[in-house]
Structure 1
Amino acid sequence: MNTFIICASGPSLNKSDCELISGSGLPVIAVNSTWRAVPDCEYIYAGDLRWWDANIDVLPSSVSRWTCNYRAHKRYGLNLFDTDTRWAFNSGQRSILFAASQGAKNIILLGFDCSINGGSHWHGDHFGLDNPTAESVTRWRGEFANTARALTGKVNIINSSRQTALKCFRRLGLNEALREVAC
């Protein structure tokens, strides 16, 4: 498949968008707890060992589970996306690189708000885990910009998030993005 949809957990992610992509026939990568919004996703991607520790027992067994965290890979038998994690990163940013490694030529992003102005996540704060801060979302914007530069000319990345602070990806409404990648 050359088109992937990635759903992150920004507060702008909504039910109607999730229903639309579930019926699109395109593979969906859910970042962290967003698998709950898109239960028929093909992939769950999370880089945080503590998230896996807290969630492994409730995840659907039918979903392909991926991480860049070597300890999570070893502890839970997860698929390892072997990527350099010596520097700061976030699971949404790494899920884009993961999709590119799977041959994606088009990636549609949803829930990539990269801001805490509308709250922390579509599902509210994580309990006992880290939640976004003003400092972390500022850092993430730089990480996404680096990813955009690295994939320029290789992958068409469309940010269809309803709200976003990211300026590094082309913006397009979800329906229009789906039409574009269908051509």
Structure 2
Amino acid sequence: MTDKRWTGCTVACIASGPSLAAEDCKAIGKAGMPAIAVNSSWRLARFASVIYAGDLCWWDAYGAEIDISAERWTCSQRAAHEHGLSLHRAAGGYNSGLRAIQLAIELGAARALLLGYDCSINSGTHWHGDHIKTKNPDEKLCLLWQRQFAQLNTLGIEIINCSRETALTCFPRARLEDVLC
């Protein structure tokens, strides 16, 4: 990818874990940094530059509800074709949150702040409750995601997990307010 629009920038990757809080999204919006909203998190992060959902079924079920001008990205060739999305080419196992980080890296980000990357269903499935039209995570899937994140090639980018609650331990943790100042 030759598009390096976020070279040297801090990018917020905002996933759908139950710990995602509206006040955290407001802080990111106020900071004015680029943001990638994963799946339905665009509803709290209406300032997002990009919406990333890897799964065709999510785009089929929820894509038409998006009412913000963010770019729309996927790693599914079929979703890209059927919904007119930008195609992110990446190899290996994936989850949409992982692919959002990879896209931030490919677009030149120097640092990624993760929000809503719970990788656990101890407090529910998503900040917005269960998806009604698509599948929801279970404990087995959360464990798979943890392994996938641990294998991420970070290519020298600093990744900080600012999720309020998380089972994801492969990245350093910090409170959002401590890394925004």
TM-score > 0.5, shorter chain as reference: yes
1:114 aligns with 2:116: no
Amino acid at match of 2:58: W
Runs of 4+ with deviation above 2 angstroms: none
- Of the three residues 138, 146, 150, the one matched with 1:145 is 150
Amino acid at match of 1:159: N
Aligned equivalents of 2:158, 2:68: Cα separation in 1: 31
Q: How do 1:1-183 residues align onto structure 2 when only pairs under 5 Å count?
A: 1=6, 2-60=9-67, 62-84=69-91, 87-147=92-152, 150-151=153-154, 154-179=156-181
How far did residue 62 of structure 1 move? 1.1
Aligned equivalents of 2:147, 2:15: Cα separation in 1: 17
Normalising by the residue count of structure 1, what TM-score does the alignment of the two structures yield? 0.92
Aligned equivalents of 1:136, 1:106: Cα separation in 2: 26
How far did residue 73 of structure 1 move? 0.5
Deviation readout 1:100-127 (Å, 9 max, x if unpaired) = 0000110000000000000000000001
How far did residue 60 of structure 1 move? 2.4
Amino acid at match of 1:88: G
Contact preservation (8 Å) 2:18, 2:128? yes
Unmatched 5+ stretches in structure 2: 1-5
Secondary structure, aligned partner of 2:31 = coil
How far did residue 61 of structure 1 move? 5.0
Aligned equivalents of 1:128, 1:56: Cα separation in 2: 12
Unmatched 5+ stretches in structure 1: none
Aligned equivalents of 1:166, 1:61: Cα separation in 2: 30
Question: Alignment identity in percent?
Answer: 46
Aligned equivalents of 2:68, 2:136: Cα separation in 1: 26
Aligned equivalents of 1:37, 1:71: Cα separation in 2: 27
Aligned to 2:3: none
Aligned residue pair count: 174
More helix by share: 1
Aligned equivalents of 2:60, 2:66: Cα separation in 1: 11
Residues 41, 72 of structure 1: alpha-carbon distance in 2 compared, 3 angstrom cutoff:
same
Secondary structure, aligned partner of 1:176 = helix
Amino acid at match of 1:169: F
Aligned equivalents of 1:82, 1:177: Cα separation in 2: 30
Aligned equivalents of 2:68, 2:98: Cα separation in 1: 24
Aligned equivalents of 1:41, 1:138: Cα separation in 2: 28
Secondary structure, aligned partner of 1:171 = coil
How far did residue 53 of structure 1 move? 0.5
Secondary structure, aligned partner of 2:151 = helix
Aligned equivalents of 2:173, 2:32: Cα separation in 1: 22
